[in-house]
């Protein structure tokens, strides 16, 4: 019945929550730690990679929800610099997901004016993974709607150390005075430049940690956690997180 209603442009699960959103106070940048895919699969007696596949399908759904709201940047944490320590079979599978995602979803993303970006180290990714990502970026280069930013081979401490080194290098070459080093100069060395800092961070699957994700950029972000595993996270919860963000923003504004 749900599917039937959808075909005829009817209501969907998140509509009630959607109606509670103030469209004049939408966060610019929402970041998501898409956690719990392996546990989602294990709970069903499936291999962990089945959870990653199911998680990939959810990426499109949440991207479209973000697009509906007019969010400017949606960052999705897909693979961390620490994830290389996982079993080789799992890493190999994950590295093929961009390749699988791209042909399936690219036409609809282009039609919806989405721009694909990546935050992370290109070095270290297999050639086929990088090619799929670069093709997706290229195909959506001329769009000016939602930025769908994949954090891939990303780790925040490594990012900051690289930034510190690049600044030290410029000081050593007398291109920069110590007094020139400030927050804005440092932020320009980060892989997220020139994206705005996230206004809201969502983490699924009940873990209440930041796990080396955008440590600098999250300094003032609202944090929102849910026990749901990423494959079970729907538009409804996404909209609820936005409503909670708006409720907090109003409270602080009133002080």
Residues noted as catalytic: 35, 83
| Binding status of residue 55 toward ligand V07 by CB under 6 A | yes
Look at residues 59, 77, 72, 73 and name the one whose alpha carbon lies nearest to residue 156. Answer: 77
Query: Rounded distance, CA 8 to CA 36, Å?
Result: 33
Nearer to ligand V07, 75 or 246 (CB): 75
Nearer to ligand V07, 69 or 94 (CB): 94
CB of 79 to ligand V07, least distance (A): 4
Question: Which strands form 73-80's sheet, in the order they lie side by side?
Answer: 115-119, 147-154, 73-80, 29-33, 200-203, 222-225
| Region binding ligand V07 by CB under 6 A among candidate stretches 6-14, 55-63, 179-187, 189-197 | 55-63
| Binding status of residue 150 toward ligand V07 by CB under 6 A | yes
Q: Which of 17, 27, 37, 156 binds ligand V07 (CB under 6 A)?
A: 37
Angle between helical axes of 88-111 and 127-139 (0-180°, round to 10): 10
Binding to ligand V07 (CB under 6 A) within 86-125 occurs at 94, 97-98, 101-102, 116
For 195, phi then psi, to 5°, come to -65, 150
CB of 151 to ligand V07, least distance (A): 9
Strand partners, 36: none
CB of 164 to ligand V07, least distance (A): 27
Nearer to ligand V07, 61 or 170 (CB): 61
CA distances from 246 to 25, 239, 243, 252 (A): 7, 11, 5, 10
For residues 206 and 227, the answer to whether their CB atoms sit within 8 Å is yes
Q: Is 39 exposed, middle or buried (0-12, 13-18, 19+ CB in 10 A)?
A: middle
| Binding status of residue 136 toward ligand V07 by CB under 6 A | yes
Nearer to ligand V07, 101 or 224 (CB): 101
| Binding status of residue 52 toward ligand V07 by CB under 6 A | yes
Q: Which of 73, 151, 152, 190 binds ligand V07 (CB under 6 A)?
A: 152
Q: Which residues bind ligand V07 (CB under 6 A)?
A: 34, 37, 52, 55-56, 59, 78-79, 94, 97-98, 101-102, 116, 132-133, 136, 150, 152, 230
């Amino acid at each position: 019945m749900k599917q039937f209603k959808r075909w005829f442009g009817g209501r969907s699960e998140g509509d009630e929550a959607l109606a509670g959103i103030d469209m004049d106070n939408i966060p610019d940048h929402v970041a998501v730690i898409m956690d719990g895919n392996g546990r989602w699969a294990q709970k069903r007696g499936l291999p962990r990679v089945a959870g990653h596949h199911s998680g990939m399908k959810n990426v499109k759904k949440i991207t479209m929800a973000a697009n509906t709201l007019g969010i400017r940047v949606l960052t999705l944490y897909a693979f961390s610099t620490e994830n290389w320590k996982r079993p080789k079979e799992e890493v190999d599978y994950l590295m093929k997901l961009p390749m699988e995602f791209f042909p399936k979803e690219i036409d609809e993303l282009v039609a919806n004016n989405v721009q694909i970006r990546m935050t992370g180290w290109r070095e270290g990714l297999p050639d086929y993974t990088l090619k799929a990502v670069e093709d997706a970026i290229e195909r959506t280069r001329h769009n000016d709607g939602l930025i769908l930013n994949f954090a891939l081979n990303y780790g925040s401490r490594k990012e900051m150390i690289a930034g510190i080194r690049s600044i030290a290098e410029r000081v050593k070459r007398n291109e920069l005075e110590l007094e020139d080093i400030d927050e804005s100069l440092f932020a320009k060395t980060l892989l997220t430049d020139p994206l705005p800092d996230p206004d809201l961070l969502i983490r699924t699957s009940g873990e209440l940690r930041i796990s080396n994700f955008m440590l600098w950029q999250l300094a003032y972000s609202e944090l929102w956690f849910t026990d749901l595993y990423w494959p079970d996270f729907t538009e409804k919860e996404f909209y609820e997180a936005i409503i909670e963000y708006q409720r907090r923003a109003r409270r602080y504004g009133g002080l």
